[in-house]
Amino acid sequence: MSVLVAKGIRKTYGSLEVLKGVDLSVGAGETFAIIGPNGAGKTTLFKVLTGEVSAQGGSVSFDGKDVTRLPAFVRARMGFGRTFQVARVFGELSIFTNVVLAIEARKVNGGESCGRWWDWRPSADTSDEARSLLESVGLGRQGDEEAGLLSHGDKKRLEFAVTLAGKPRILMLDEPTAGMSAADRKSTTNLLRDLKAKGITIIMTEHDMDVIFDLADRLMVLNYGAVVSQGDPVTVREDEMVKQVYLGKGVGHA
Ligand SMILES: Nc1ncnc2c1ncn2[C@@H]1O[C@H](COP(=O)(O)OP(=O)(O)OP(=O)(O)O)[C@@H](O)[C@H]1O
């Protein structure tokens, strides 16, 4: 069954047609990648799917419900988890507190009380959950460190933990390995493989073809806002049009 379906998405900025009628359908538990050259419209499509920007045409449905007109925060509450090209965390707070706040936010949104603000401290359950999330992203020993001082790769890891704290039904990852060292890219790929194995639905944009071909069940290739090809990695890799517009002769870091 499809979790996320988009039909005929059209988006323009002034006279620039950024998305020209994009259709996609992502199944439960699937890892779906959106790839294409710089400026192809990948991030814009992402933002339309998450509700950060509205499109001029088309529809988006999530779990069979039309969410086209719902803003991003409502879609987030419905189960959209989102990471960004540049990780967004509370830099002045500790790693542990960043995750605790995300867990508490989920609980409050779910109608639970988190105590009085003037003597607030996380419950034992919340603390245990935060520790286990940090463990799962490889930051288990660094909980007390200030988030703003983390390396780029570790900040991304923390952003994953914060996003997972929301218990998303669908994980939207905009270039999860952008700007990472080879070692960080490898550990992030391993982390994503673990999430995939847990059955979480993932939609990602990514320029690193090794990451894409390692993780994606299906790919969509965008060029100038139009879908050039869609299918499993082997089919897309062999597509002559895709080779021309994006992959070139060899497949590597595009
Ligand atoms: N807010 C905006 N206002 C005007 N033009 C925009 C806006 N956002 C994106 N664009 C333009 O839309 C086009 C698609 O941009 P988008 O960021 O979606 O591409 P992309 O495929 O994600 O690129 P990259 O791989 O470089 O991140 C580009 O020409 C970009 O300049």
Q: pLDDT tens-digit profile of 149-190?
A: 988 888 888 988 999 998 889 999 988 888 888 888 888 888
85 within domain boundaries:
no
ipTM over 0.90: yes
CA pair distance 35, 168, nearest whole angstrom: 23
Report which protein residue has its CA nearest ligand 1's atom 9: 44
Nearest one of 69, 73, 90 to 82, comparing CA atoms: 73
Residue 145: what pLDDT?
87
Indicate if the pLDDT at residue 88 is higher than 50.
yes
CA pair distance 54, 129, nearest whole angstrom: 35
Strand partners for 11: 19
84 within domain boundaries:
no
Residue 239: what pLDDT?
84
Report which protein residue has its CA nearest ligand 1's atom 1: 13
- Residues 20-46: what's their mean pLDDT? 94
Strand pairing class (57-62; 65-66): antiparallel
DSSP 90-142: -TTSBHHHHHHHHHHHHHHHTT-----GGG----HHHHHHHHHHHHHTT-TT-
CA pair distance 161, 31, nearest whole angstrom: 19
Distance (angstroms) between ligand 1 centre and the Cα of 224 equals: 10
Q: In whole numbers, what is the pLDDT of the chain averaged over residues? A: 87
Shared-domain flag, residues 111 and 235: no
Structural domain range at position 98: 91-167
- Confidence class of residue 252 from pLDDT cuts 50, 70 and 90? very low
If one counts the domains in the chain, the total is 2
Distance (angstroms) between ligand 1 centre and the Cα of 15 equals: 13
Please give the model's pTM, rounded to 2 decimal places.
Answer: 0.86
- Confidence class of residue 191 from pLDDT cuts 50, 70 and 90? confident
CA pair distance 17, 19, nearest whole angstrom: 6
- Residues 1-25: what's their mean pLDDT? 95
Residue 246: what pLDDT?
74
Shared-domain flag, residues 163 and 174: no
Shared-domain flag, residues 115 and 132: yes
- Residues 239-252: what's their mean pLDDT? 67
- Give residue ranges with CB within 6 A of ligand 1: 13, 16, 18, 36, 38-44
CA pair distance 226, 18, nearest whole angstrom: 9
Distance (angstroms) between ligand 1 centre and the Cα of 82 equals: 18
Shared-domain flag, residues 150 and 190: no
User: What are the backbone angles phi and psi of residue 87, rounded to the nearest 5°?
Assistant: -55, 140
- Residues 243-248: what's their mean pLDDT? 73
For the ranges 58-67, 114-123, 175-184, 207-216, which has the lowest average pLDDT? 114-123
What number of other Cβ atoms are within 10 A of residue 86's Cβ? 13
Shared-domain flag, residues 163 and 181: no
Indicate if the pLDDT at residue 254 is higher than 50.
no
| C-beta separation of 67 from 91 below 8 A | no
Distance (angstroms) between ligand 1 centre and the Cα of 43 equals: 7
- Residues 217-233: what's their mean pLDDT? 93
Shared-domain flag, residues 180 and 144: no
Amino acid, single-letter form, for residue 15: S
Shared-domain flag, residues 193 and 229: yes
Percent of the chain at pLDDT > 70 equals: 93
Distance (angstroms) between ligand 1 centre and the Cα of 36 equals: 12
